[in-house]
Amino acid sequence: MDEISLKALAKINLGLDVLGKREDGYHDVRMIMQTIHLYDRVEIKKTRSPHIHVETNLYYLPVNEDNLVYRAAKLMKDEFQIKEGVRIVLQKFIPVAAGLAGGSSDAAAVLVGMNRIFNLGLKQNKLMELGLKIGADVPFCIMETCALVKGIGERITPFAMPCDFHILLVKPAMGVPTGKAFSMLDFEKCDHPDCNEVIHALQQGDLAQLSSVISNSLEYSAFQLVPEIADIKHQLQSIGFEAVLMSGSGSTVFAITRKKELLRQAEKRFHNKTYFVCCTAIKQ
Ligand code: ATP
């Protein structure tokens, strides 16, 4: 096999608690992460020349080592002394700087894809270990599951939950740089969800209970940076969605419901504005 085409799936955070800052600069977190069916397309082709060549449909994304797909390919080449190169075509559909782990998921797809086309025979655990060198969300993106995630993102405990609901994503034009949201974090003022309560509500499929327990420590700082996020959240709540929360460090807000008609109402409400609006579902 000389080439492969993979879906790089996005995630949402059904709860995000920042516990504190570590000496190495990373933050200790507890998160409930769920893979969803919004994805980028990543095509990887072996080349005779040793170079890594990246192309993407988004003109403003870097195509050098600043792109996470480039970093993932370089890591695989260096670790396993791969002489050949790769041509990576990245079609982005996941919005950028959105709290949906788009870049991390693209990197995860490159690790998985290169493992296959170069017949490296690496197990998922090894790929996740390599992924952590690229970014804290990469190991989760390799697993593509629903899980309680601890540490900086490397301690992943999957759990099962029902999935008979719809998810709406709404993102304002402006994104939130993850580093900025963390640097503005105020531990006194921000929310600290109890992830065990969130898991319990999810497993019961109890959206009313879920809405009373989900929160995200980074919302407070993201709201300061992009006030439109708070406005979107309030609008989605007023339409009647059962559970509404910002994902990751923003700027996407997701809303959960079992009522299909609410999706249509929300699409109408946000139509013709500069928002990214997308109905999706969780990956089982
Ligand atoms: P997270 O949820 O993990 O915080 P995010 O969705 O907020 O991620 P991304 O879209 O993954 O953020 O990345 C945002 C930044 O990373 C941008 O500054 C962008 O230039 C850079 N970047 C590097 N590679 C990629 C990529 N493949 N896709 C998107 N952004 C990338």
Among 217, 221, 210, 153, which residue's Cα sits nearest to residue 19?
Answer: 217
Catalytic residue chosen out of the listed positions 17, 40, 106, 137: 137
**What are the CA-CA distances from residue 116 to residues 3, 10, 69 (Å)?**
9, 21, 16
Question: How do residues 211-228 score in pLDDT, each as one tens digit?
Answer: 999 999 999 999 999 999
Question: How do residues 40-92 score in pLDDT, each as one tens digit?
Answer: 999 999 999 999 999 999 999 999 999 999 999 999 999 999 999 999 999 99
End-to-end, the C-alpha distance of the chain in Å comes to 28
Query: Which one of 40, 68, 217 would you pick to mutate in the ligand 1 pocket, going by the greatest count of ligand atoms within 8 A of its CB?
Result: 68
- Indicate left, alpha or beta for 248 from its phi (over 0: left) and psi (-120 to 50: alpha): left
- Cα-Cα-Cα-Cα torsion 54, 55, 61, 65, nearest 10 degrees, comes to 10
Q: Is the pLDDT of residue 186 over 90?
A: no
Q: What is the mean pLDDT of residues 2-8?
A: 97
Closest atom, ligand 1, to C-alpha of 68: 24
Residue 271: which residues within 8 A CB-CB, separation 6 or more?
Answer: 277
pLDDT of residue 100: 98
Question: How do residues 234-272 score in pLDDT, each as one tens digit?
Answer: 999 999 999 999 999 989 999 999 999 999 999 889 887
Closest atom, ligand 1, to C-alpha of 248: 2
pLDDT of residue 120: 98
pLDDT band (50, 70, 90) for residue 187: confident
Cα–ligand 1 centroid distance for 40 (angstroms): 12
Beta carbons within 10 angstroms of residue 254's beta carbon: 26
Burial code (b: 16+ CB inside 10 Å, e: under 16) for 110-148 equals bbbbbbebbeeebeeeebbebbbebbbbbbbbbbbbbbb
Peptide bond into 183 cis (omega under 30): no
Quote the tokens at residue 198: 């969130």
Q: Catalytic: 137? A: yes
**What is d(CA 281, CA 284) in angstroms, rounded to the nearest whole number?**
9
pLDDT band (50, 70, 90) for residue 201: very high
